[in-house]
């Protein structure tokens, strides 16, 4: 988990590469996903362009961004190794259904 | 024991690609997940929660500060914000695969990752049901 704050001075792609996706500095297992919470406003085209920027820098890993649309709606997009999504998440809908309580690991 | 709720199941290959689905080296349902550095399974290793529960826990953690009109400590606020972001990812994963997702906050002694997230794949015969993780193709 990482957070790209409103106070960050570098670009989002530079931030992700420096902190999480630089293969010379970081090594994660194959089932590790980098999830970044994005505070500043971002357009879909900016995020899509970031995938190309990360590919050009030979980044390594699996990275998703989480952004907020309004009080209850969020979007999840994959930005590396390829662009994918968005997948929308609505908190109200999540709580409209029964909350699962059975732990499948103890089945 | 039921392992899925009332959410309607969706095809495993949606019109756009959210992520790939691991097919090997996963954890069969009911297995222990060994994640401690020394290889021992401890009691907390099986404390998995639904994303909805995790959201409720996050709200409970900062509720006293909201009631007092004070600002939570920076470390607590960061932990809550990142737990919520992990929860949103888990809910997105659940919608993508049309199955429940489960998550566990990882103790700092385990170093990484921050959160473990898996989903229940019960699409095949009962003997093939497993908890799976998202992996790159």
B121: tokens are 């794949």
- How far, CA to CA in Å, does B12 sit from each of A12, A30, B37, B67? 31, 21, 34, 43
Shortest CB distance from A35 goes to which of B33, B85, B135?
B85
- On whether any CB of chain B is under 8 Å from the CB of A66, the answer is yes
Residue A64 has, within 13 A of its CA and on its CB side, a CA count of 29
- How far, CA to CA in Å, does A83 sit from each of A12, A47, A57, A86, A105? 15, 9, 15, 9, 32
Cβ(A65)–Cβ(A36) under 8 Å?
yes
B57: tokens are 């826990």
A86 prior amide bond cis, ω within 30? yes
pLDDT digits (tens, 9 = 90+) for A57-77: 988 888 999 999 998 999 999
- Residues of chain B with pLDDT > 90, as a percent, come to 14
pLDDT of residue A103: 58
At a CB cut-off of 8 Å and minimum separation 6, what does A42 contact?
A12, A67
Name the band, by pLDDT with cuts 50, 70 and 90, for residue A17: very high
**Residues in chain B closer than 8 A to A105 (CB atoms):** 27, 29-33, 46, 48, 102, 131
**Residues in chain B closer than 8 A to A33 (CB atoms):** 89, 113, 117, 134
Shortest CB distance from A103 goes to which of B32, B46, B92?
B46
Note down pLDDT in tens along chain B; length 137 residues: 444 444 444 433 332 334 444 333 344 343 334 444 444 444 445 577 889 888 888 999 999 999 999 999 998 898 888 889 999 999 998 888 788 888 887 777 776 678 888 877 777 787 777 777 765 54
**Residues in chain A closer than 8 A to B108 (CB atoms):** none
- Give the distance from residue B57's alpha carbon to the nearest chain A alpha carbon, in angstroms: 13
pLDDT digits (tens, 9 = 90+) for B17-26: 344 443 333 4
- Give the distance from residue B31's alpha carbon to the nearest chain A alpha carbon, in angstroms: 6
ipTM over 0.95: no
Pairs of CB atoms within 8 A across A/B: 122
**Residues in chain B closer than 8 A to A78 (CB atoms):** 17-19
CB within 8 Å: B91 and A97: no
């Amino acid at each position: 988990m990482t957070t790209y704050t409103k106070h960050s001075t570098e670009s989002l792609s530079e931030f992700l590469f420096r902190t999480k996706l630089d293969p010379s500095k970081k090594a994660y297992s194959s089932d590790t996903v980098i999830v970044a919470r994005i505070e500043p406003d971002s357009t879909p085209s900016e995020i899509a362009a970031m995938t190309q920027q990360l590919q050009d820098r030979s980044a390594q890993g699996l990275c998703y961004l989480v952004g907020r649309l309004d009080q209850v709606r969020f979007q999840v997009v994959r930005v590396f190794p390829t662009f994918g999504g968005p997948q929308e998440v609505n908190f109200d809908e999540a709580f409209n259904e029964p909350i699962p309580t059975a732990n499948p690991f103890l089945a | 024991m039921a392992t899925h709720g009332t959410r309607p199941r969706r095809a495993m290959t949606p019109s756009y690609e959210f992520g790939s689905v691991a097919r090997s080296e996963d954890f069969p349902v009911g297995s222990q997940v060994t994640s401690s550095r020394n290889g021992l399974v401890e009691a907390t290793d099986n404390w998995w929660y639904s994303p909805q529960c995790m959201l409720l826990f996050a709200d409970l953690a900062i509720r006293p500060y909201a009631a007092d009109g004070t600002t939570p400590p920076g470390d607590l606020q960061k932990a809550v914000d990142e737990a919520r972001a992990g929860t949103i990812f888990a809910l997105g994963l659940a919608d993508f695969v049309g199955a429940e997702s489960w998550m566990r906050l990882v103790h700092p002694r385990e170093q990484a990752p921050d959160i473990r997230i898996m989903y229940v794949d019960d699409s095949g015969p009962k003997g093939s049901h497993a908890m799976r993780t998202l992996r790159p193709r």
